[in-house]
Amino acid sequence: MSEKKTLTIALAGNPNSGKTTIFNNITGTRQKVGNWPGVTVEKKEGLINKFGYELKIVDLPGTYSLTPFSIEEIVARNFVLEESPDVIIDIIDSSNLERSLYLATQLREIDSKVLFALNMADLASSHGTKIDAEKLSNLLDVPVVFTVGNKNEGMDILLKEAIKLAESSPDKSENRNVKYSRDIENAITKIQGLIERKAKDRINYKTRWTAIKLLEDDKIVKERFVEKAGAAGEEILEETGVLRKYLLNAFDEDPEIVMTDDRYGFIAGIIKEVQTITVKQRVDVSRNIDLVLTNRFIGFPIFIFFIWAMFQLTFTLGAYPMDWIESGVSLISSYAGSIVPESLFKDLLINGIIGGVGSVIVFLPNILILFFCIALLEDTGYMARAAFIMDKIMHLIGLHGKSFIPMLMGFGCNVPAIMATRTLESEKDRILTILITPFMSCSAKLPVYIVLAGTFFAAKAGNVIFSLYLLGIILSIISGRLFRSTLLKGIDAPFVMELPPYRVPMLRSLMIHMWDRSKMFLKRMGGVILVGSVIVWSLSAFPRNVDYSADYSAEMDRANESFNIKIAAADEKGKELLKNERIVAIAEIEKAMNAVKTEKSYMGRIGKGVSPVFEPLGIDWRGSVSLLTGFFAKEIVVSTLGVLYSTEGPGDKDALKNALRSSGMTPLSALSMMVFVLLYLPCLATIAMIRKETASFKWTAFSIIYSTSVAWIASFCVFQGGKLLGFS
Ligand code: GDP
Ligand code: MG
């Protein structure tokens, strides 16, 4: 019996170098997605068996360096240092060798086993760039493999080389690393000597690397160093301080800046050696496309058009499968109705579970389409341009264009939108974006608008719904400015917007991106909706023995009897008519009975309890209950209204409309209710996501309280203001 040997292979590289593509190629669908311990940066891991080994592949966050400035860099560096993966594959963007090599030299310096994947080789050569891999490999003493991530080329060779490297004896080729200026090298040697004499056995990193980091004044390394080496550590740090001062005098520049320059010098040297650019450079296609798409005048209209087209596609194309699923759900429901005997369980199954989950599952096509479009925008490289175009407008809120992407996704669903804030570097920007994203009206709120606006505004429904979306956007801008100048003060640090080259998207990668997000949506919503529906159902179904004020069964008997007498006396034609009349009359009584039942149910009692809060907004107890249940998911507002108005379940929209009209609800109170739905607390799944991404109860609670207060105030203004102006 041979135990398989496990090797850990980490993928490092710049953002957009093709890391995730290669990760997906290697691991297929066998991957685990989570967060790095303690921070909200995506962690992907996959386990595969290949070439007789068990390989654990880890996708490190994309970084340009290992200088711990951003969370991503700290996470990547910690992993390399603390978990000591057997091999690190550095995915290099061959069409951007200089920038990629900066990270590469830093990885080499740590002295882990590094292997280069020269990815995007196709792009490089189409730009007329040729890279001499053998020379690169010799110069840096690193195995080099060419790959084309999006065509799945070179993966097996890459893994084979990685295994070979892992099994090789540790290399000692320090001389293949960056050589710094003489003064710096002298300082490094001095510190290294000190460490070796006084603290060698107490630190677990390589001494040269430690010396370099101390000289660079790396806070994290310094802290750990003192922790481990104690008094000797303090002493060495003091010594380092003296050296730093000396270097600062000599160069008139912080040593770390000189060292960065040295690294770039080293890289420039390598590039001269290994890269040749043919004279007849191809026309830069991306730049030409950008001349149009990011044009100062037509860039914005084109962008608006794309967004419009995306929503059109989402809702028009999505309507077809939505219909199919809707009829599927009602088929299942009537089938279940026909085989399950009349009981409490039947009621739970049909009205609680199938009705509740069914009302959400119908949105799956819309969500899939929306996420497909977003993946398309991302993979082609257009999303970065959208951020660029929106940058100016976003600065009104004190945010960068990058924050626009999560907000845009918020129109689909806030859960993935809040997850998308991970791409923002600054913690404050991230929290600010998370706080204002829920004002983007998500697709789950649309059914509520459709029912209410459709009922009370008829032909003007479209305009009303559009205004609601607009109101959400305006309030998010106002809130953003407010937070920026109070709770989340800060300057928007200047940064360069990355504009990666346009690429033809790959269907496979589009599908993976789309599914990654939809899966999350389904999983979270599925669980929450199921529980929510059952709770809503239970609250409306219990208590069972209602004390009716009138004797409905006696009333029904009486109606039956009087019709029977009339029917007996009538002729053939009259009999048929009367029979139909009898059905209607009985249904009327049943409806009245159900209304009383609901009113006396727990849900009715809760509604009556909270209704004083909603009264100034023109929302009655039924509306209040629906709003409460909307906490589980916004679509539930509609199905709860259905239950409360004792119509035939969520599918029967006309009955609901009639019931709403005769309930005393007015266009003004309907508008007030829609405004409330637009703005009030995010649904349970979103709240869970906010908690996860901010890692703070404080901000989560703040988000809930803030949005609900804004909702109440806005609805109050709408309703009371409208009344003052004479609307009803
Ligand atoms: P990451 O940010 O490093 O994870 O990069 P991704 O894996 O998301 O890749 C960014 C884009 O580059 C995607 O659209 C890929 O399809 C594309 N891509 C990946 N590898 C290659 C390659 O070798 N050649 C070309 N032309 N495109 C690639
Ligand atoms: Mg990636």
Asked if residue 153 has its Cβ within 6 Å of ligand 1, the reply is no
Asked if residue 59 has its Cβ within 6 Å of ligand 1, the reply is no
Of all ligands present, the nearest one to the C-alpha of 127 is 1
Asked if residue 44 has its Cβ within 6 Å of ligand 1, the reply is no
More confident residue, 536 or 674: 674
- Quick: pLDDT tens for 553-602: 788 788 888 888 888 887 888 888 888 888 878 777 777 777 777 778 88
pLDDT for res 162? 92
Asked if residue 18 has its Cβ within 6 Å of ligand 1, the reply is yes
Catalogue all structural domains in the chain, each as residue range(s) with its CATH number: 5-166 (3.40.50.300), 182-277 (1.10.287.1770), 293-485 (no CATH)
Asked if residue 41 has its Cβ within 6 Å of ligand 1, the reply is no
Q: Does the structure show a pLDDT above 50 at 47?
A: yes
Q: What does the pLDDT average to over 373-381?
A: 85
Residue with tokens 């109606």: 559
Can you tell me the distance from the alpha carbon of 560 to that of 642, in angstroms, rounded to the nearest whole number?
28
Which range scores top for mean pLDDT: 264-273, 368-377, 693-702? 693-702
- Among 437, 356, 397, 366, which residue's Cα sits nearest to residue 682? 437
Q: Does the structure show a pLDDT above 50 at 648?
A: no
Q: Does the structure show a pLDDT above 50 at 650?
A: no
- Quick: pLDDT tens for 192-230: 888 888 877 777 778 888 899 999 988 888 888 888 888
Ligand 1 centroid vs 380 CA: distance in angstroms? 10
Which of 16, 60, 129, 145 for a ligand 1 pocket mutation test, highest count of atoms within 8 Å of Cβ? 16
More confident residue, 285 or 498: 285
Per DSSP, helices labelled H in 83-141 are: 97-110, 121-126, 133-140
- Quick: pLDDT tens for 67-82: 877 788 888 988 988 8
**Residue 275: beta bridge partners?**
131
User: 537-562 burial, b for 16+ CB within 10 Å, e for fewer?
Assistant: bebbbeeeeeeeeeebeeeeeebeee
Can you tell me the distance from the alpha carbon of 122 to that of 99, in angstroms, rounded to the nearest whole number?
18
pLDDT bin (cut points 50, 70, 90) of residue 161 is: very high
Q: Does the structure show a pLDDT above 80 at 480?
A: yes
378 Cα nearest atom in ligand 1: 14
Provide the total of helices (H) and of strands (E) in the chain, helices listed first: 32, 9
pLDDT bin (cut points 50, 70, 90) of residue 413 is: confident
Phi, psi of 696 (to 5 degrees): -150, 125
pLDDT for res 395? 80
pLDDT bin (cut points 50, 70, 90) of residue 35 is: low
- The dihedral over CA atoms of 330, 334, 340, 346, expressed in degrees to the nearest 10, equals 50
pLDDT for res 471? 93
The number of residues making up the chain comes to 728
Can you tell me the distance from the alpha carbon of 130 to that of 95, in angstroms, rounded to the nearest whole number?
9
**Residue 286 is encoded by which pair of tokens?**
């991306």
119 Cα nearest atom in ligand 1: 23
pLDDT bin (cut points 50, 70, 90) of residue 472 is: very high
Measure CA 383 to chain center. Answer: 15
Ligand 1 centroid vs 506 CA: distance in angstroms? 9
pLDDT for res 486? 87
Lowest mean pLDDT among 233-242, 477-486, 559-568: 559-568
pLDDT for res 654? 66
